[in-house]
Chain A
Amino acid sequence: MKKSQKIFVQFGICFFVISLVGLLINNLTINLTRTGLGFNFNWLFKPASFALAEHPLPYSSSDNYAWALFIGWLNSLKVIVSSLMLATVLGTLIGFARTGKNALLSLLSAGYITIIRQTPLLLQLMFWYFIGFLGFKDNTFIHIKNIIKISNQGIELSGLTLSSEFSALLFGLGIFTSAYIAEVIRGGILSVPKGQWEAFRSLGLSEKKGLLSIIIPQALPAILPGLTSQYLNLAKNSTLAIAVGYSDIYAINDTIINQTGRAIECFLILLTSFLLLNLLICNCMEIINKTILNSRKYN
């Protein structure tokens, strides 16, 4: 292609993109004028006048929309962080069981991974909420006085009370993601050459010591990038909270759109909230990754 032709093509592409964006903005303005709402965020400071079942900070229906959204963001953060921890612990255990020598454990974890990965998350959330928590016969599943109570009211763990919506979401998201994390862990372990296993075994080191001192440190660089994407997926999947009636940021946004019709603004807020959340996760993981890579004095 000649230089003049190249410039022509580039110009054509620019023109196309600019026209497309222009068309969208035009559409938006026409629709905003039609509804008579205009584009602004002043409504954020009007009273929300809806109740929230769960709020980590004080909230009443006379508080404004902005505060309601912030409560939703905190609710999201709460469920994301706790299911992230559950998923990591479960996933690590199952990943090791899957690669381990014990044939029964390996088979069981393979079954777990298969079932969890091959059914939709929405279905699993419904299962935990309607069949799991709401379905407990006589309303109580386990009750050990002052220690744990699992019932259709949720989980009570020595003073800590978790609603059934939160618990269902925690189990659903945690277990769903743990199956993927288990596979990431397995991949990391398999990336360590077989000779490393033979070397520590031939030195008389136990399997536990060998895993901790030899295999895991070498598997981590292969595990972390995969782990980060699973964490990001979990954060985004948490928007399915709406299915079990947990008031996360998405559910609250949904209510506000219904009340005010401010769809554009609300979606921008939602977008920014998730961008913030995921950038937070991404950066934390990047810091961990860098720390590990820098502490490595070898190539």
Chain B
Amino acid sequence: MKPIVIAKNLTKSYTKGLLALDNVSLTVNQGKVLVVMGPSGSGKSTLIRTFNGLETFDKGEVNVLGIKIDPDHNERKIQKIRKRVGMVFQQFNLFPHLSILENITLAPVHVQKRRQIEAEEYGMYLLSQMGIDSHAKKYPSQLSGGEQQRVAIARALALKPELLLFDEPTSALDPERINEVLDAMRRLAKQGMTMIVVTHEIGFAKEVSDQVLFMDSGKVIETTTPDIFFSNAKHERSRKFLNQLDKY
């Protein structure tokens, strides 16, 4: 089993006394899907953002694909990681002034120095995988939320990443649009993509994840398999959270 992400004793405080991350450790192996759950403000987003250097931390160490980052936040190492790790955001964050295809080819052409035509061909392939190749010439604002999020996934895949980070990818979507995005993520998991997913989607977590990590107030409350977590969570805090989720 090759570890892709190893985090050791990550600690981060925003303001004095309030910890965003409190001694968080975890390991994600190649081809595995880790779902991170927890109430809002529990530090889930902060945690996965440290894995590609969008967030700094005060103590501890992160090792992504064999590249170590420590609290010094070495830009060159982070740049190396970003070229090999894709990220999908809650608000899609597509570039509104670029067409769908341009959104996807920008990084391969400028970061990996691939030829434009080659990047476009691969971009079209990714779009067809996501079922949105007919929109290639359109602009983000002309697409529905679900379509935009699928473009964002294709954009993240364009660099052929070895790890994908998802930060609440379906939280900003209409309920009937959620499944088209989750389906795309299921297919990626089946193809063996290593993924870390922050989500509240229980169905997705049960079906796709290999591990569920539950956080509260910056601490890892428990890490376990989805079977155990959803039927027989050890901790009172986890059970309380799941009960709350069930009500919706």
Q: Which residues of A line the B interface, CB within 8 A? A: 193, 195-196, 198-206, 209, 213-214, 217-218, 296-299
Bound-state Cα–Cα, A201 to B106, Å: 12
Number of B residues whose C-beta is below 8 Å from A? Answer: 28
B110 contacts A297, C-beta separation under 8 Å? no
Residue in B54, B85, B96, B142 whose CB lies within 8 Å of A198: B54
A195 touches B107 (CB 8 A): no
- Contact of B155 with A by CB under 8 A: yes
- A34 to nearest B CB, angstroms? 64
In this assembly, does B79 line the interface, its C-beta being within 8 Å of a C-beta of chain A? yes
Tell me the bound Cα distance from A205 to B82 in angstroms: 9
The 3 closest A-B pairs by CB, nearest first: A199-B93, A298-B139, A195-B93
Q: Interface centre among A205, A296, A298, by most B CB within 10 Å? A: A298
B54 touching A218, Cβ below 8 Å: no
Name the residue in A196, A199, A299 with the highest tally of chain B Cβ atoms < 10 Å from its Cβ. A199
Check B97–A202 contact: CB distance below 8 A: no
Instruction: Find out whether the CB atom of A202 lies under 8 angstroms from the CB atom of B52.
Output: yes
Give per-residue flags for B80-121: 1 if the beta carbon is below 8 A from chain A beta carbons, else 0: 001101110101011111010000001100110000000000
Q: How many A-B residue pairs have CB under 8 A?
A: 61
**Which residues of chain B have C-beta atoms less than 8 A from A201's C-beta?**
53-54, 82
A198–B95 alpha-carbon span in the complex (Å): 11
Find out whether the CB atom of B93 lies under 8 angstroms from the CB atom of A205.
no
B107/A218 in contact, CB under 8 A: no
Question: B140 contacts the other chain (Cβ, under 8 Å)?
Answer: yes
Indicate if B141 sits at the interface (CB-CB under 8 A): yes
Residue from A193, A200, A299 within 8 A of B141 (CB atoms):
A299
Given A199-B89, A297-B139, the answer on whether A204 and B95 have CB atoms closer than 8 Å is no
Q: Is the CB of B93 within 8 A of A209?
A: no
User: Is residue B159 contacting chain A, with contact meaning CB distance below 8 A?
Assistant: yes
A202 x B141 contact (CB < 8 A): no
Residue of B nearest to A196 (CB): B93
Most buried by A among B82, B87, B96, B139: B96
A contact residues around B52 at 8 Å (CB): 202
Query: CB within 8 A of B107: which of A196, A198, A203, A299?
Result: A203
Cα-based distance from A200 to B86 in the complex (angstroms): 11
